[in-house]
Chains A and B, each alone.
Chain A
Amino acid sequence: MTDSFRQSQGRKVVSRATAEALGELNHMVVDSSRRHVTAVVVGEGKKHAFLVDWEHVSGFGPDAVMVESKETLRSPADDQEQAAVEGKLELVGKRALSERGNEKGSITDVEFDPESGDIGSVLVGEERIPATNILGLGSYAAVLASPHDDQ
């Protein structure tokens, strides 16, 4: 089963304990190797956005994202998480730059498994690229590995 970052944008986040609506999913946070989703960002803005670690996401469904309870919402713990919460590390829309210094376009979507949180591919234009080909991700660009014979 696969879901995508673009499709999950804006999805309702609901507390499993109380069925309370906690906000909307605005960003997905990925780990440094780009293999897993590590957290989701609920809400918008510097002060009203919170993180929910993936372990506390009990069900990532097509219509709603269920989190264990309201208590699992937490604030960013460091600069990296703060940048993620502000959307600076958002993969969708990020400039895709090859390690050879040529722009390949923008990342249009990211495919992942909503049960495990494992990330599959990113889409750049028409091309599907394994997310592990992302050598670096920052506020300016996602740097993609180049095959040795490519430019």
Chain B
Amino acid sequence: MKLLVAASAITGLPVVTVAGGEDVAEVRDVIYSPELGSLVGLTLNKRGFLSGRRRQVLPVELIHAIGEDAVMVRDETALTEPGEAPREVGKPATERNVLGDDVLTEGGVSLGKVSDLVLVVGSKGEVVGYQIEKAEGGTAYIPLPAQLSVSGSALVVPPATQEFVRDDLVGFGAAVDEFRERLGMS
């Protein structure tokens, strides 16, 4: 079964080259496209206790793997000048953020507000679900279908999503698989 991790847990991880075994940068922001349902890239900080931003960014295609302890790249050439990277990564938006958006089922039930993304460990930033703040309080995890309807300031999900809400990431991997199977059958 797949290991899952929250996108916010990726921030601050070292970016390490496979070829050189060097920590060349640190993860600053995780940039996500709700339309694509996957990461588009990462912005970076320099390594060091009080260091600030690093100019170069990391587009998702150049990520070798995202792990629990590091983000791996082939070598230092993966770090891209902002002008040469896709616009969303080179000049990331700070507004119109899907985090904080309401999650509504097609039947009009609010499941909560998006508070984080759930990624597959070892992938290049595959997003399989959202962490939500439930209306009644507390956090939960909801699986994402392959196609998600993003309109205005709410995310609309299939009603079946409600059955696959989980309270922690441990059982969530299985829920994602079952949810996708269910959608595939309908």
Residues of A within 8 A of B (CB): 97-103, 135-143, 151
Contact = CB atoms under 8 A, between A and B. Distances in A.
Contacts of B19: 135-136
| 6 tightest Cβ-Cβ pairs between the two chains A and B | A101-B67, A138-B21, A138-B22, A151-B122, A140-B23, A136-B21
Given A136-B17, A140-B16, A151-B121, A102 B68 contact: yes
Contacts of A137: 21
Contact of A136 (B18, B67, B69, B122): B18
B18 A143 contact: yes
B66 interface: yes
Interface residues of B, number: 23
Contacts of A103: 68-70
B143 interface: no
Interface of B: 2-3, 13-14, 16-23, 64-72, 121-122
| Among A98, A99, A100: residue with most chain B CB under 10 A | A100
Contacts of A151: 2-3, 67, 121-122
A102 B68 CA distance: 5
Contacts of B121: 100-102, 151
A101 B17 contact: no
Contacts of B68: 101-103
B21 A101 contact: no
Contacts of A142: 21
A138 B47 CA distance: 15
A99 B14 contact: no
Nearest to B120: A151
B45 to A, nearest CB: 16
Nearest to B68: A102
Contacts of A102: 67-70, 121-122
B69 A97 contact: yes
A79 to B, nearest CB: 13
Given A97-B67, A101-B16, A138-B21, 12 more contacts: A97-B16, A97-B72, A99-B72, A101-B122, A103-B69, A135-B19, A136-B17, A138-B22, A140-B23, A141-B23, A143-B17, A151-B121
A139 B22 contact: yes
B22 A99 contact: no
